[in-house]
Chains A and B, each alone.
Chain A
Amino acid sequence: MRYSSMKVWEGRCREGSNSEQGSDLMQVGISAIEYVLGSDRVSVEELEARGMLDSPAARLSEFGFSCARLSRESSYTLATAAVSKLLGTTGVDRTSIDALFYAGATPGCHAVVTPDPLSAFNYPVAQLQYELELTHAAAFGVSQVGCLGLMASVALAKDFLLSCEIARRALCVSADVLPAGCKREMIYNVISDGACAVLLEKECDRNRILAYRQVTKGYYWNSIAQKNEITAAYFPTARNIVRDTLADVSLNSSDISCILPHNVSLRSWEILLSLIQIGREKLFAENIAKMAHVIAADNWINLRDAAETGRLHHGDKLLLFTFGFGANWACMVLEH
């Protein structure tokens, strides 16, 4: 029997928690990642010409950005494409997916809007579950954590799998598309549209999740009015959460083989790297210029691409860090 409702999940969770299965056998890893980006590649110079930047293009180039990827499709379409791609490349049995987590940073990503005001209740996660025949997946939306959406989903999915004895797989997807013509710069970062799907499996020895921490500082909830305070709070809070997450699994900065960043400016990463005492050579920064900040998807896109380029080796300890409006900081440690 699979789970089709929260109620059943709750029942199974209690059952699972009473089982004698030890945590060593209950490891959760990430077995597959696929993503799609907005189809239009627009240079920062062109974005500036279109009035879509606040800072000069030359300055953003210095900060490591060269272009943004803009989508003409909806976030839902991109989400569908990313999940379809993952299901296609892995050949995983769709009915073996026990949970589907759908993340998006903006409210528009969490409703299939029609002229009827009540269409706010039309949820894309349910539509996706139906259209892609994930018939046994319990569906959840993860919202209001900004660019943390996908990392928070992965953390929730891991907990779901660990708490449900017979659950095997969970699928997380994030999709964000900013409205056409809107600004593409937020706090000195260039923003792209895209979607990313992440498959988690129990007893998977790839990309095992070793530790996760999230810090929410509600004082900074007003991301527009408190832009400066957020910028100032970003670095010390980031430093602390990285330190604490590493300490959770008795690791030091020197144990980290690779940082899979959120694609904010290289300048910002240079400062943070100094704070967390990890060398620049460990930062997988190749995608910052190529695709800019794909909202919630960066860390996972970078994990996939870093693995594909042969940069990662079995047993490597990987550090993922991201920040999302809300205001949320999150850090995860994986073992590749």
Chain B
Amino acid sequence: MAHTVLVTGATGMIGQALVPLLARRNDVGAIFALTHASEYLGSSCKVTPVRGDVTAGPALGIAPESSREILDRTDVIVHAAANTRFSASLDEARTVNLEGTKNLLAFASHCPRLKAFAALSTVHVAGKRTGTICEEDLDHTAGFVNSYEQSKYETELLLRERMSALPISVLRLSTVLGSSTTGEVRRMAAIHHALRLYYNSLAPMIPGKPDSLVDLIAAEYAAAAVEHFAAEYFQAGRTFHICCGENALTLVHLLQLTREAFLRYRPAWRKRAIEMPAIVDLPTFELFVRSVEEVGDNILRSSVAIIKHFVPQLGYPKIFRDVECTRLLEAKGLLKPSVLEFYPQVVCWLVESGWGEIRTLAGGAGA
């Protein structure tokens, strides 16, 4: 019998790429795409947009006439809805990430056919831990850089607790940069804004060490991996790292690649002679941020606000082990795109589309 999949966060960065992949599968008969927005969800007849919200209580705000059918038919849930705004308050982040998951778990517990509950998380639940982070690790007591990390960590604790009652798997993603084929970025995240600040000479320094790894993955790879672990090789009780792992680029290499890409795709940028951001220790970065917040004007404050909840993570160098995940995906023929190849493509797309503001590009932003 074909699967019926409920996808939350269907219009998010992963959801947008995931829904078409699921729709193409022969073993998927229907997809309920939960969304609180009226965004385009593709043309597949398998996809039914469902107006709802994970924060709206255990019924998810779904109209009663639809709710019964979804409960009865759903056997796979992919939970991609999240508040990924790093600057959100802890309360705001918890409302969507923790409370929203609680609500969805309550909803799932009424799905009689449920076989798989794939919850998307982040490798950064490791927070301020340093060193090697393994897939099963969930003893993260070093603190967190932002409310997103903390709320997702708390969510994972909840999911672990409920694993005995429901078939739950956790898929931890690292930072999704953009498309490995077109370079397109469907949703701007903190890293894209940070690149824009560098391009515009508003990024003086970045915390970390030159050899700190920056784990980035391509959108297609992330979506395909989620599809695999949700619909094809679901493993209840398991946690997988969908990340770049030991192939991640170092911070200094990433900055050099960024500079090279700016120069290649916007030769006129050269004459600005903008320096690469200095790589500094965390206290120095925090002193700079504090100084700007105390006396800087609005533009500089806004610039700092964009990065201050995100880049401090680079001050806690770590490597995410993804051996098991990579082995399983490679066995399926799903290979990680080379970050050396897709990173410049994404930077090119950002530069040429004006960070998504120029909508006339063929296949460009917002298409």
**Taking beta carbons and an 8 Å cutoff, which residues of A are in contact with B?**
55, 59, 62-63, 188, 217, 219-220, 227-229, 231-237, 239-240, 267-268, 270-271, 274-275
Contact = CB atoms under 8 A, between A and B. Distances in A.
B191 interface: no
Interface in B264-306: 271-278, 280-281, 283-284, 287-288, 291, 294-297, 299-300, 303
B272 to A, nearest CB: 4
Interface of B: 200-205, 271-278, 280-281, 283-284, 287-288, 291, 294-297, 299-300, 303
A239 B201 contact: no
Given A232-B300, A236-B204, A274 B274 contact: no
Contacts of B280: 274-275
B284 A233 contact: no
Interface of A: prevailing SS:
helix
B271 A219 contact: yes
A246 to B, nearest CB: 16
A16 B201 CA distance: 44
B202 A228 contact: yes
Contacts of A275: 205, 278, 280, 284
B278 A236 contact: yes
Contact of A233 (B204, B287, B288, B299): B204
Contacts of A240: 275
Contacts of A233: 201, 204, 274-275
Nearest to B301: A228
Given A227-B297, A228-B297, A240-B275, 19 more contacts: A62-B294, A63-B295, A188-B291, A219-B271, A220-B201, A228-B299, A228-B300, A228-B303, A229-B201, A229-B202, A233-B275, A234-B204, A235-B204, A236-B277, A271-B284, A274-B287, A275-B205, A275-B278, A275-B284
B204 A274 contact: no
Contacts of A227: 297
A217 B300 CA distance: 20
B201 A237 contact: no
Contacts of B203: 232
A33 B294 CA distance: 37
Nearest to B197: A232
A239 B271 contact: no
Question: Which 10 A-B residue pairs are closest in the complex by CB-CB distance?
Answer: A236-B275, A274-B284, A232-B204, A219-B272, A236-B278, A229-B201, A228-B300, A235-B204, A228-B299, A188-B295
A235 B203 CA distance: 10
Contact of A267 (B200, B291, B300): B291
B291 A271 contact: yes
Contacts of B276: 236
B308 to A, nearest CB: 14
Contact of A55 (B273, B283, B287, B295): B295
Nearest to B201: A229
Contacts of B287: 267, 270-271, 274
26 contacts: A55-B295, A59-B294, A59-B295, A62-B294, A188-B291, A219-B201, A219-B271, A220-B201, A228-B202, A228-B299, A229-B201, A231-B204, A232-B202, A232-B203, A232-B204, A233-B275, A235-B205, A235-B278, A236-B278, A239-B278, A240-B275, A271-B287, A271-B288, A274-B287, A275-B278, A275-B280
A228 B287 CA distance: 17
Contacts of A59: 294-295
A236 B278 CA distance: 5
A266 to B, nearest CB: 11
Contacts of B204: 231-236
Contacts of B205: 235-236, 275
Given A217-B273, A219-B274, A229-B201, A235 B288 contact: yes
Contacts of A234: 204
Contacts of A63: 295
B283 to A, nearest CB: 8
Contacts of A55: 295
A219 B291 contact: no
B196 to A, nearest CB: 13
A239 to B, nearest CB: 5
B42 to A, nearest CB: 41
Contacts of B303: 228, 232
A270 B295 CA distance: 16
Nearest to A234: B204
Contacts of B291: 188, 267-268, 271
Contact of A232 (B201, B273, B294, B297): B201
Nearest to B206: A236
Nearest to A217: B273
A235 B284 CA distance: 11
A63 B291 CA distance: 9
Nearest to B271: A219
Interface centre among A231, A232, A239, A271 (most CB of B within 10 A): A232
Nearest to A240: B275
Nearest to B278: A236
Nearest to B205: A235
A274 B202 CA distance: 20
A237 B283 CA distance: 20
Interface centre among B204, B287, B288, B300 (most CB of A within 10 A): B204
A275 B201 CA distance: 18
